[in-house]
Chains A and B, each alone.
Chain A
Amino acid sequence: MSETALGLDRVYVSFPIYQTGSRSLKKNLLSLGSAGRIARDANDHITIDALRNISLKIETGDRLALVGANGAGKTTLLRVMAGIYEPISGTVTVEGRISPMFDIGLGMDMDLNGYDNIRLRGLLLGLPSAQIEKLMSEIAEFTELGDYLNMPVRTYSSGMILRLTFSVATSFRPEILLMDEWILAGDGGFLAKAEGRINALISNASILVLASHNLKVCRKWCNKALWLNNGEIQAFGSSADVIDAFEATMKV
């Protein structure tokens, strides 16, 4: 297995807000407090500094939990790691293939059947067609959907769709797995199975980054944690220490 690494160096991300031109709205937004700092750019557009001065480095075998209040920048940070947002300044270096699992329904064509959707999602995740066909039976088995795979996805429950997407996304040894907390929406039995699968993935020398409000899951799955506050790093270290500190502020 090749070495994987994910590094961010002094990353800044700010969003232009074009809908709000007025100063009064700016004041309203400022009073919201927990969201990123609001500023104005050179052209006098209102911008929200979503991430400020983020530097971190994680390596093979690391499982990083992102914790923080709503609007602290967890999802934005995940998207920067995934290459979706290219930072305003600073650099992101990636060694290894990134597999984002953010949106449960992305690229899901409700009128296609399960098998065709597995193919489509495989293509979206960058798998060559031949490899998808090779993995097909294994994926189909893991979904536990049986004959439902021949039915249009339209007829599935959200839990069944989750099984489908999770199975495809984890079927090909993602090197760097980025997850938003939707993964916890699965039913109990499947979650246990998913955990087994994720443990297997980690032991195959890959990186996991998980953004979640469920601190219990963060402690269980992750060895490192990053606490984001208003788009800045509040603490970065072992998951036990950081999550303890974060929890302490939550209780007050």
Chain B
Amino acid sequence: MMADLLRRSARLHLAMRDVLDGAKLWPLWGKLGWNDILQRYRRSFLGPFWLTVSMAVMVIALGIVYSQIFKTPINDFMPFLCLGLLIWNFINTVLNNAGALFTGAESYVKQIRLPYSIYLYRFIWSNVIVFAHNAVIYLGVMIYYEVWPETFLYAIPGLLLLVLNGALASLYIGIISARFRDIPQIIVSLTQIAFYVTPIIWKPEILGSRSAILLFNPFHHLIEIVRGPLLGQLPSLESYTAVGIITAVNLAAAAAFFIRFRARISYWV
């Protein structure tokens, strides 16, 4: 009983040290995360902006097509779609690649002792960089359609919560995926479904009286707390409450898995 308690508190202590020591190594993960992006586009003319270009093409194409299909005015639909796609792209890449968080870093994990959290920081950092590159598209859309939301400052806490939840979720997805290699495949199919049932390429108004079901879609709330303020409308209290609950659940899961299984990661990868 006593020994068990001691072991638990030692685990907690080591997990917390890992997170803090990892954060202190920001010059390392900053560089590694940046290199991850450069590596893909080295010796190409546009470099990382290739991501932006392909994203921009998708936004414009889908915007034109879907505003026709749904018969909505394009100057109203385009900013909505653009933001939705940019935010979804972040969520989607984070969730789909989180499975390789530790297995993809096998050569590091097995050769050198580093805080495990640096792989998480590196991963989130490189995704935030891509997100920032893509934000240029939103600026373009804003200027073209002359959208000047006065509520845009409210998007900042939204963005922070979005990134925090991405980090927490990737931590436990990365740990579980190191042990069970089927998880990343399952996530890929689930995110595909999530894309269609979440208001990204269609507006929530379409649902009419059935829009209550959106209340149970966590992705809708995570997107809404960033997209709403940037479109000039404050997110509802329900959205903020939902994101609060999502964050609490993610935090509890990430902490539980990391404290319990941190030391097993090197055995599993």
Contact = CB atoms under 8 A, between A and B. Distances in A.
Interface residues of A, number: 22
Contacts of B109: 84
Contacts of B112: 82, 84, 100, 102-103, 106, 124
Interface of B: 25, 27-28, 31-32, 35, 38-39, 42, 107-114, 179, 263, 266-268
Given A16-B267, A124-B28, A106 B39 contact: no
Given A85-B267, A109-B35, A111-B39, A103 B111 contact: yes
Please report whether the interface of chain B is mostly helix, strand, loop or mixed according to DSSP: helix
Nearest to B38: A111
A84 B110 contact: yes
Nearest to B265: A86
A129 B109 CA distance: 22
A38 to B, nearest CB: 16
B108 A98 contact: no
Contacts, number: 49
Contacts of B28: 123-124
Q: Which of A15, A16, A120, A124 is most buried by chain B, counting CB atoms within 10 A of its CB?
A: A124
A107 B263 CA distance: 22
A106 B113 contact: no
Interface in A131-169: none
Contact of B267 (A15, A82, A123): A15
Interface in A58-104: 79, 82-86, 98, 100, 102-103
Contacts of B268: 16
Contacts of B266: 84-86
A116 to B, nearest CB: 9
Nearest to A104: B111
A129 B113 contact: no
Identify the interface centre among A15, A102, A109: most chain B CB within 10 Å of its CB. A109
A15 B267 CA distance: 7
Contacts of A84: 109-113, 266
B185 to A, nearest CB: 16
Given A85-B267, A124-B114, 18 more contacts: A15-B267, A16-B267, A83-B113, A84-B112, A84-B266, A100-B111, A100-B113, A102-B112, A103-B111, A106-B111, A111-B39, A120-B31, A120-B32, A120-B35, A123-B25, A123-B27, A124-B28, A129-B27
